[in-house]
Amino acid sequence: MDLKSGYPFWAIKNGLMHAFAPLQQDLRCEVVVVGGGVTAALIADELVQHGHEVAVIEQRDIGWGSTAASTALLQYEIDTPLRELAKRHGLEAAVLAYRACEQAIEALRVLAAQVDDVDFRTARSLYYASRRRHLGPLLEEFDLRSRHGFAVDWLDAAGVAEEFGFSAPGAILSTPAASMDPYRMSYRLLIRLLARGARVHDHCRIDAVETSTRRVQLRTADGLRIECKQLVVATGYAAQQWLRQRVARNRSSYAFVTDPMPTDALAQLRDTLLWETARPYLYLRTTADQRLLAGGEDDAIDLPLRRDAQVDRKAQRLAAKVGKLFPQLAMTPTFAWAGTFAETEDGLPFFGPHPQWGPRVHFAMAYGGNGITYSMLGAGLIRAAIERRQHRLAELFSFQRLA
């Protein structure tokens, strides 16, 4: 599945960071993680850290799917506002989901410090009203989060203009938030796992999977057999191909990054992620080397050739939107790209077994705008399922909510 178009910045910036050995003979281990992006790397790391024998199998180069196209805004805020999520699943479950994402950002900070050199930076998140008619619902969202103990401040139009230098009717300023280089995180985690005895093999395509009550058998395109007790499918937005049931809608999102800018030019954005109430929404962040990264212009295109043809036009439209907010910035896209992402009905991910495959096959579908934050949560969820332990998020993030 072709998951991206154009020139994703992370892959260009970092290049091929490590060459992993090909799989050359049959393999037997406890857990196989299929996928080589940031979700697979986080899950494999969690399992290895807790004593599980793990092999990671990826059909492309590591990080070359959606991870290379990710803009890596790490927020506890879900694309579905807290008030709307509460209507769907109840207030207790909605607060649980938001609180868990908040805790996941801290867990990512700790892990990034251990791994080192992944451009992890803490930040604030500014969620601003795109139009005056969005102000009422945004104030309701602020009030609900505030009443449940989330660290939020309200900025009126004057406050937004004074602190961030652009015009908006109002905004929620919240912590915690962060950003990082997801491609680099994937490589550095998997290189570390190799040193700890895990197996990592890229350019290895799985052609067939058979399950039984005691094991899972996989067959590669080269005719090799892999046998495991537990299988984790962490293939990102390609995971839908494993299921007959449609669980999400694939869409395309577009992004660009500028050349490095003078430090003072990005003063308002240096430690703040910006996103808006309009849908699809514009979002902004800076990189560690003082570039501005912008994304949005989402559409329903799921055909690679059509998506490819849109990249330059969408980048120019994004640049024009940023230019309206910050006319003093020279908006010239240096690298532009698009990536597939998936939206679930309620904005929540899916982690765990699906009835089609039985209890030994676990899916890690970190779908939505919180992909990396969800992946950090999913690592603990998948480990709990493999160890046959209860997890507070298991039911909310399971396929059961589709019933």
- What pLDDT, in 10s, does the model give residues 267-319? 889 999 999 999 999 999 999 999 999 999 999 987 788 888 999 999 999 99
In total, how many domains does the chain have? 3
Q: Which of residues 276 and 16 earns the better pLDDT score?
A: 276
Domain annotation covers residue 389: yes
What CA–CA distances, in Å, run from 89 to 141, 190, 264, 402?
16, 36, 44, 12
Q: What is the Cα–Cα distance from 371 to 299, expressed in whole angstroms?
A: 18
Which tens digits make up the pLDDT trace of 195-207? 999 999 999 999 9
The pLDDT confidence band at residue 340, using thresholds 50, 70 and 90, is confident
For residue 77, is pLDDT > 80? yes
Kindly state whether residues 277 and 299 are assigned to the same domain.
yes
For residue 3, is pLDDT > 70? no
Kindly state whether residues 80 and 12 are assigned to the same domain.
no
Which tens digits make up the pLDDT trace of 312-338? 999 999 999 999 999 999 889 999 999
For residue 236, is pLDDT > 70? yes
What does the block give as tokens for 29? 């281990």
Kindly state whether residues 231 and 351 are assigned to the same domain.
yes
Domain annotation covers residue 341: no
Query: What proportion of the chain, given as a percentage, has pLDDT over 90?
Result: 90
Domain annotation covers residue 240: yes
The pLDDT confidence band at residue 222, using thresholds 50, 70 and 90, is very high
Kindly state whether residues 13 and 54 are assigned to the same domain.
yes
The pLDDT confidence band at residue 210, using thresholds 50, 70 and 90, is very high
pLDDT of residue 5: 77
Domain annotation covers residue 338: no
Domain annotation covers residue 148: yes
Kindly state whether residues 187 and 175 are assigned to the same domain.
no
Give the gyration radius of the chain's Cα atoms: 21
Kindly state whether residues 54 and 77 are assigned to the same domain.
no
Rounded-to-10 torsion of CA 173, 95, 369, 167? -20
For residue 2, is pLDDT > 90? no
Kindly state whether residues 205 and 319 are assigned to the same domain.
no
Kindly state whether residues 212 and 258 are assigned to the same domain.
no
The pLDDT confidence band at residue 32, using thresholds 50, 70 and 90, is very high
Mean pLDDT of 149-154: 98
pLDDT of residue 224: 98
Mean per-residue pLDDT of the chain: 95
Q: What is the Cα–Cα distance from 274 to 382, expressed in whole angstroms?
A: 31
Domain annotation covers residue 118: yes
Kindly state whether residues 56 and 202 are assigned to the same domain.
yes
Contacts of the segment 105-108: beta carbons below 8 A, 24+ positions apart:
105/74, 105/75, 105/76, 105/176, 105/177, 105/178, 105/373, 106/176, 107/376, 108/74, 108/178, 108/180, 108/372, 108/373, 108/376
Query: What proportion of the chain, given as a percentage, has pLDDT over 70?
Result: 99
Map residue 53 onto helix, strand or coil.
coil
pLDDT of residue 255: 95
* pTM, two decimal places: 0.96
pLDDT of residue 1: 62
Q: What is the CATH number of the domain that holds 54?
A: 3.50.50.60
Please report where in the chains the tokens 């803009």 appear, as a residue: 71
Contact 29, 172 (CB under 8 A): no
In the 8-state DSSP scheme, what is residue 143? H
Kindly state whether residues 91 and 132 are assigned to the same domain.
yes
Kindly state whether residues 159 and 196 are assigned to the same domain.
no
Map residue 343 onto helix, strand or coil.
strand
Domain annotation covers residue 284: yes
pLDDT of residue 304: 80
Range of the domain at 83: 73-179
Kindly state whether residues 192 and 159 are assigned to the same domain.
no
The pLDDT confidence band at residue 135, using thresholds 50, 70 and 90, is very high
